[in-house]
Structure formats: structure tokens, C-alpha cells
Structure 1
Amino acid sequence: MTGGGPGRVLLPPGLRAGLGAVSVLAAVTVVVLGCLYAGDSGPGPADARILAVVDGVRPPWRHVADAIDLLGEPVGAVLLLAAVMTGLLLSHRPRAAVLVAAGPGLAVVTTRLLKPLVGRTIHGGNLAYPSGHTSFLTALALVSALIVVGRPGAGRTAGTLIVLGAGLAAGAAMGWAEVALGSHYPTDALGGCGTALAVVPAAAWLTDRTADSLRKKSR
């Protein structure tokens, strides 16, 4: 089903292969980086080069970084999710509203499970890898883009590029903010973005399957 209404598919068949491949590649990247930086408490060589440019930004860019960071804080994240979900429910898109909760939620839960397993720390013991803030905003951008490209007429290539572009842009923005504020190393941000890319396609597919199954049982 690709038409309008509450049953509109969230992960169109044309996007499944491409986003599935990206999901696998992202998962491998997250695992490899986790293994490389397991137990570390300092930046790697790539981190150090980026930190030399980005770390410790001053106003007005510091204010921009603070504003972006707020979107990943508990209060900011809940308000952002609530606003998006309310808009979708008022538009009679319950399936999409479920994904807005499930996609970012699964991404954040995954980062929280990975952090103690990897054990990378920053600033005297704070678990750092992967970045939950980056994972959250990347996931929200991905699910929002999926909802948009699920409309009739979106082509396979264009749809895939839109979804990935939105996710990477959001991940880059939050990653920059976290590094600029000294909250994470660049590779933590990369791991957070990768975590979202790995889990959101699966969340969309599972949401579609569950919704379709419930609709069939209700008939």
C-alpha cells in the first residue's frame, strides 16, 4: 500500500534494498569503531585532528551548538517528539507517529546498551561511545524523511538519497555540536550516526509488518 491514509507504507519496497545495505554497512562501522576504541579514555589520531579545529568554539557559534545540543537533551527530545507525533496524529497518520517514537527510541536504547560494552570514556569516566545525542537526531531525521518519501511518486534513487541526506545532515549537525562543546570525540558522533542508520530501517520495516498484521486481524 503506497496511497494516502493511515496505512501508508513507511519503508517502500523500492527503498528496502538500498537502505538495508546502508544499515548493514553502518552496523559494521559501529562495531569496528567500538572495537578500536574499547576501553580508551582519550581521542584517537583522527579525533585529535578534528578536535584541533572544532573543539572549544566561541560565541556566536557556541550558542548555535548549545541550541542543537538541547534537541538531544531529555526535555528537548521529548518536546520535539511530541510535536512531530501530534502533527502526524492530527493528520491521521498513526503508523508514522509510531515510527517517530520507535525509530529514535530504538536508536537511543541501542547506544545506551553499547556504551558500557565499549567502555570508552571522556572527562574522567563519562561513557562516550556512541553518542546518544547524535543517534537521536539522526534517527528522527531518518524517520521524518521516510515519512515524506513514502508519499506516491517518490522514486527509488531520489527517495534513498533524500533519506540518507537528511540523516547525514542531522548527524553532522549534532555531531559538530557535541564535539564543539567537548561532550564527545568525533568518532563517538560517527558511531551515534551509524547506530541510527543501522536500526531505523529495521524499525520502519517492523512497524509496517506489525501495522499490516493488526489491520488484517481487525477485518
Structure 2
Amino acid sequence: MNARRALALFAALCVLVAVAVGLLVSPNPPGALDNWAYGRVDGLSTGLLNALVLPTEPYVLIPAIAVIAGICLYLHRRRDAVLAVAGPVLAVALNTWALKPVFDRWKGGTLVYPSGHTVSLVAVLVVVVLLVRLRMAATLVSVVLLGCGAVGMIGLGYHYLTDIAGGACFATGVVTALRAALSLRREPAQSSG
């Protein structure tokens, strides 16, 4: 199996998991897993929780996207620059305008499944993982950042753990699918003789 097909298959699997989790949780109140997660972070200081959620904020992520795209353009990697911008934008747009209304899961007057904070963060992190050479190190840093963000979001009452899991799967699926689509090679022009 070539790399593009593997990415496309992985992307489809991630989106299917996000949809499956959404179908399980959207009509129901928070389950045992969500309550367990909240119980683990309940009592942490608001200052700590605000610091942990910082990587999910637009004023952090938008400049990060601009820097990543700028580096890609400087290195003459136009497709990677497109991925850096379009991946997060597409993931957030689809999540906001399609998935959240479809799953209709509410918390405190806000649609929460899949987590938009998570989709934003994970989309940028997946772009980084796909573009850098030190993928294992980037993956480990990404997992730590996602874990920190998850603790902050749950502790501040923004999201349930299942919202975060769905958001992570969905963002990963969208960005890897876009990477697979951008990897399509152009056919060479036919010679006229």
C-alpha cells in the first residue's frame, strides 16, 4: 500500500471513530467515562487550568499556522503551506457548521461535540507531525499538549472527555485526508510529437 492510500485509509478510520463516538454520546447525558475524567481534574486551580488550555486558543494557534505556512513558503514547499492553512481551516469549518449541529450535544448552552478547541489544536499538531522529520518527537510533544489541553478543558467545564476524543479523531482525519489529496501527483503532459 502506498503512503497516500495509507493516509486516506487512516483518515477515513479517524472520521468513522469520531462519528461512532458522537452517535454513542450525543443523545445521552455524560457517561461514566466523562464523569470519571471530571472527577480526576476537579479541584485543580483555575490558574493552572487556564494555563493548560492556552494551546487551544485562537490567539496562539493562528500565529502558529502563519509561522508554519511561512516556513513552508520560504522552503518552496507550496503544498505543505496549503496544508498548514487549509487543514485547520477545513477541520474547524466542518466541525463548526456540520458536525456540531448534527450531533446536537449541549453543555452550558453551547454545542460541544466534537470539541472545537480540540479540533483547532489537533489540526495544527497533525500538520506539524506530517511536515517535520522528527515525527516521533513531534508526536510525543503533540500528545503532551493535547493532554494538557484536555485537562484544562475538562476542568474549566468547556468539554467532556468524549468531546475531546471525538475532536481529536475528527481533526486527525480531516488533515490526513487533505494531506493524501495534496499528495496526488500530476500526470505529465502528453507530448505532441
The bucket for the TM-score relative to the shorter chain is 0.7 to 0.9
Greater CA deviation, 108-117 or 49-58? 49-58
Aligned-partner SS, 2:183: helix
Whole-angstrom CA distance in 1 between matches of 2:138 and 2:2: 13
Instruction: Using the TM superposition, give the Cα deviation of residue 14 of structure 1 relative to its aligned residue in structure 2, in angstroms.
Output: 5.3
What's the TM-score, normalizing by structure 1?
0.74
Q: What is residue 21 of structure 2 aligned with on the other side?
A: 33
Q: Does 1:173 align with 2:148?
A: yes
Q: What is residue 10 of structure 1 aligned with on the other side?
A: none
Q: Does 1:146 align with 2:146?
A: no
For residues 83-102 of structure 1, the C-alpha deviation after alignment (integer angstroms, 9 at most, x for no partner) is 22112212222221110012
Q: Does 1:202 align with 2:184?
A: no
Q: Does 1:96 align with 2:74?
A: no
Instruction: Using the TM superposition, give the Cα deviation of residue 170 of structure 1 relative to its aligned residue in structure 2, in angstroms.
Output: 4.1
CA contact (8 A) 1:29 1:191 kept: yes
Q: What is residue 105 of structure 2 aligned with on the other side?
A: 120
Whole-angstrom CA distance in 2 between matches of 1:119 and 1:199: 20
Instruction: Using the TM superposition, give the Cα deviation of residue 24 of structure 1 relative to its aligned residue in structure 2, in angstroms.
Output: 3.0
Of residues 145, 161, 164 in structure 2, which corresponds to 1:189? 164
CA contact (8 A) 2:53 2:150 kept: no
CA contact (8 A) 1:26 1:194 kept: yes
Whole-angstrom CA distance in 2 between matches of 1:162 and 1:14: 24
CA contact (8 A) 1:68 1:177 kept: no
What's the TM-score, normalizing by structure 2?
0.83
Q: Which runs of 5+ in 1 are unaligned?
A: 1-12
Superposition CA RMSD, Å: 2.8
Number of aligned residue pairs: give it.
Answer: 189
Instruction: Using the TM superposition, give the Cα deviation of residue 208 of structure 1 relative to its aligned residue in structure 2, in angstroms.
Output: 2.3
For residues 131-150 of structure 1, the C-alpha deviation after alignment (integer angstroms, 9 at most, x for no partner) is 1111121121111111124x
Q: What is residue 134 of structure 1 aligned with on the other side?
A: 118
Of residues 64, 77, 82 in structure 1, which corresponds to 2:51? 64
CA contact (8 A) 2:105 2:111 kept: yes
